[in-house]
Amino acid sequence: MNTGNVKNIVTIIIVAILSSAITLFGYNTISKNSMQRISNSSATIEQSGYADSFDQDKNVRLASLTTQQGYPDFTEAASKSVNGVVHVKVKSISQQQYMNPFDFFFGFGERNMQPREQIGFGSGVIISKDGYIITNNHVVEGATEVTVSLNDNREITAKVIGTDPQTDIALIKIEGNDFPYLTFGNSDALQVGEWVLAVGNPFNLTSTVTAGIVSAKNRGNIVGGSLGIQSFIQVDAAVNRGNSGGALVNTRGELVGINTAIFSQSGDFNGLAFAVPISIAGKVAADLKQYGAVQRAVLGIQVPNIEAVRQQNPAKATELSQIVGVVVDDFADRSAAKAAGMEKGDIIKAINNVQIKNFAGLQDQLSRYRPGDKVKVTVDRKGKEHSYTVELKNDAGNTEIQRSSDSMNLLGATFNDIPNNRKQQLGIGSGVEVASVDNNGLFRKEGINKGFIIMRVNNTPVNSESDIAKIVSSVSGSRQDKVILIAGFYPNGRTQYIAIDLSQGAK
Q: Rounded to whole angstroms, what are the CA distances from 107 to 78, 98, 289, 496?
A: 62, 14, 52, 20
The answer to whether 304 and 312 are in contact (CB under 8 A) is: no
Active-site residue identified among 53, 138, 404, 476: 138
The answer to whether 237 and 198 are in contact (CB under 8 A) is: yes
- Residue 346, strand partner residues: none
Q: If DSSP codes are grouped into helix, strand and coil, which group holds residue 507?
A: coil
Kindly calculate the radius of gyration of the chain based on its CA atoms and give it in whole angstroms: 28
Active-site annotation holds for 81: no
Distance CA 345, CA 329 (A): 6
How many separate helices (H) and strands (E) can be counted in the chain?
14, 25
Q: Sign (positive/negative) of CA torsion 461, 465, 466, 472? A: positive
Q: Is 183 exposed, middle or buried (0-12, 13-18, 19+ CB in 10 A)?
A: buried
Active-site annotation holds for 138: yes
What are φ and ψ of residue 479, in 5° steps?
-90, 0
Cβ-based neighbour number of residue 263 at 10 Å: 14
Q: Nearest 10 degrees: CA dihedral of 71, 74, 77, 82?
A: 180
Buried b (16+ CB within 10 A) or exposed e, 30-67: eeeeeeeeeebbebbebbeebbebbebeeeeebebeee
The answer to whether 22 and 259 are in contact (CB under 8 A) is: no
The answer to whether 150 and 53 are in contact (CB under 8 A) is: no
Element (H, E) at 379: strand 374-381
Active-site residue identified among 92, 231, 244, 407: 244
Element (H, E) at 219: strand 208-219
Active-site residue identified among 87, 128, 149, 168: 168
Active-site annotation holds for 244: yes
The answer to whether 147 and 119 are in contact (CB under 8 A) is: no
Contacts of 471 (CB under 8 A, 6+ apart): 457, 458, 460, 462, 484
Annotated catalytic residues are 138, 168, 244
